[in-house]
Amino acid sequence: MFFEVPSCLNNATEWIFYVADNGPGIAPQYQQKIFHLFQTLTAKDQAESTGIGLSLIEKIVHSWQGKIWLESDGVQGSKFIFSVPKPIKNE
């Protein structure tokens, strides 16, 4: 699987980061599921995955008052994007 070099965009109010791959894509009906704890899109016996990674990333981004989402046509490739406001306000 090929991963695009991560990138960062800087606008007036936020930082926007993304990383993309050319994998099988994620169908629209599963795009929110992947951010839930212990959720995977493949059977446990087909791939070693805990389903924790994206859930943790989502919690971290939200703790910074940011947003996380993905873009995928469900056929090939996914782009994971998150944004955090400037300046970051930790609580």
Residue 77 is part of a domain; what is its CATH number? 3.30.565.10
Q: Answer yes or no: is 23 within a domain.
A: yes
Q: Answer yes or no: is 54 within a domain.
A: yes
Q: Answer yes or no: is 1 within a domain.
A: no
Distances (CA, A) of 62 to 22, 75, 85, 90: 26, 28, 11, 10
Q: Answer yes or no: is 35 within a domain.
A: yes
pLDDT over threshold 90, residue 85 = yes
Q: Answer yes or no: is 52 within a domain.
A: yes
- Per the structure, the count of domains in the chain is 1
pLDDT tens for each residue of 29-54: 777 878 777 666 555 556 666 667 78
Mean pLDDT of the chain, nearest integer: 81
Tell me which residue of 10, 1, 6 sits closest to 79, measured CA to CA. 6
Given pLDDT bands bounded at 50, 70 and 90, which one contains residue 25?
confident
Q: Which domain holds residue 42?
A: 7-85
